[in-house]
Amino acid sequence: MRLSACNARVKRDLSYKARLSIRGKNWNPVTIGTTKLRRRSASHFHHPYKLLAPELAHLRTTLLNLLGSSHPSLNDIAQYYFLHPSKQLRPLLVLLFSRATNGLGRDWELKHWAAECEGAGGRTEELDRPLTRPDVLNDWNPHMPDHTASFESAFSIQPPTIPTPPPVFTPSSSTRDTSLFSSSDVLLPTQLRLAQIVEMIHVASLLHDDVIDKSPLRRGSASAPAAFGNKLSVLGGDFLLGRASAALSRLGDNEVVELIASVIANLVEGEILQMKEVHAPELGLVGTPRAGREGWNIYLKKCYLKTASLMAKGARAAVVLGGCKEGEVWKEVAYAYGRNVGIAFQLVDDILDYEAGEATLGKPGGADLQLGLATGPALYAWEEHPEMGPLIERKFEKEGDVELARDLVRRSSGVERTRDLALAHADKAREVLGLLPDSDAKIALEVLTERVVKRTW
C-alpha cells in the first residue's frame, strides 16, 4: 500500500464517538463523564465478559499458536492450563482499558496508523514476524514461518540484507488541544497481543506456583505437576516466559517492555516474600511473623507482587500502546485501577480459601493454612485472639493447628474485616474511573469492581 493511500485510509477510518475539548492549564479531568454515568439505570450496565466475549474467545484460540514447540511433551505442558476454563481476568482488563482509552492519548493517530500500514510494525501479521532472522533465533514453532539453519554442518556467515525503509507517519492537521475519543469497538493488534502475553505470564506463574505449593488440583483438574511431574512443569513455565518475552519485544514499545518485564521480577519477589514467611530457616532468611501494621504491610505487599502487579501494569501497558504519553492521566487511571482491583481480588481469594470448597475453587480449600500461610482472615483473627500468634509462628505445623486456626477465624471477625478491606480497594478502583469519559468499557470496568468482591469462584 502506498504511503499516501495508507495515511488517507487511516484518517478516513477514524470514527470518533466524542470530542472532548481540553484547553488551558486548569483543566480538571475529574469532571469528565461523571454526570451522564450517574443517570444510567442498572439495565444499561454491561457484563464485562459478555462485552468482549468474541475477542476473548479469539484470543484463547489464537494464543495456542504462540505455544507450539518441536518437543511434543513441551507442547502438551505449555498448552495444558489454556485448555481448561479460566477467568481470563487479566486479558479482560487489558482489553477493557484499551477500549476505554483508545483515542484519548496524544499518539493515538500514530498507533492507529501503525496498525493499518504495512511496514509500520503494528499489523497482526507483523507481530508474528520475528525481528531477528529465523536461522539465528532457532525457535521452532510449527504454527509460525520457520527457516532454521541445519545443524549438520558448521554455520556460515550470511551477508547482511539492506532493510526496507519503514513508512513515515504524516499526522493530521487537527489542533493539539483537542482529544479525540474513538469509537469504543477499536482494539489495536498490539493490544490484543498484549492480552495474550499477560495471560501467558500468568499461566507460567501458575505452573511454577503449583510446583512450589505441591498443589494437586488446578481449575478443577489435576495440576500440571500431578499430570506431568515437577520438572516438566518448571520447564513449561520457563518456556511460556520465553515465548511471552519474544512476543513482547515485537510490540515495539520500550515502556511496555519495561512494565511487563518488571512484572516477572515482581512475581519472583512475591514468591520469595512468601517463602520467607514459610521456609525462612532452610533458606537462611530472617523472617518473624508480626501482628499489627508491619504484618499487614508485608501481606499486602505480597498481594501486590504476586497478583496485582500483573493486572496494574498490564492495564497501564494497554493504555500506552493506545498512544498515551507521559503526563497524560489515562495510564495513571489504568495503573491505579489495576492495582486496587488486583489487591481486592487477592483478598477475596484468601477469604474463599476459608469459605469455599474444592468444587467451587477448582483447587483444594484451606490450602493456605496447610502451606503455613497466614492471610488476611488469620491476621485479623490474631488481633482478636492472641492464641493465634503461636500457631502462625510455627506455621501451623503441629497436629490440630490448622483446625484450631480455622476455628479462631470463625470465632473472629477476620473474614468480615478482610471483605471490608477488599471493598475499600474496589471502591477506590471504581472512584478513579471517574476520570475517564463515558463508554461501554468504562461501565464494564465499574461492574467488574463489584463482581471481583462478590465472586464465589
pLDDT at 420: 98
Give this prediction's pTM: 0.86
Helix 53-63 vs helix 189-212: angle between axes, to the nearest 10 degrees?
60
pLDDT at 137: 80
pLDDT at 35: 30
pLDDT at 452: 96
Which residue range forms the structural domain that includes residue 197? Answer: 48-129+183-454
pLDDT at 22: 33
CB distance 311 to 339 below 8 Å: yes
In a domain, 77, yes or no: yes
pLDDT at 38: 35
In a domain, 7, yes or no: no
pLDDT at 276: 82
**Total of domains in the chain:** 1
In a domain, 153, yes or no: no
CATH code of residue 355: 1.10.600.10
Burial 341-379 (b: 16+ CB within 10 A, else e): bbbbbbbbbbbbbbebeeeebbbebbbbbebbbbbbbbb
Cα gap 318→412, rounded to integer Å = 41
pLDDT at 142: 75
For the chain, first and last CA: distance in Å? 49
CB distance 313 to 260 below 8 Å: yes
* Tens-digit pLDDT profile for residues 196-223: 999 999 999 999 999 999 999 887 889 9
pLDDT at 84: 83
Residue 189 CB-half CA count within 13 A: 21
In a domain, 249, yes or no: yes
* Tens-digit pLDDT profile for residues 424-445: 999 999 999 999 999 999 999 9
pLDDT at 46: 74
In a domain, 196, yes or no: yes
In a domain, 432, yes or no: yes
pLDDT at 146: 55
Q: Which ranges of the chain have pLDDT less than 70?
A: 1-45, 144-150, 173-184, 279-292, 357-365
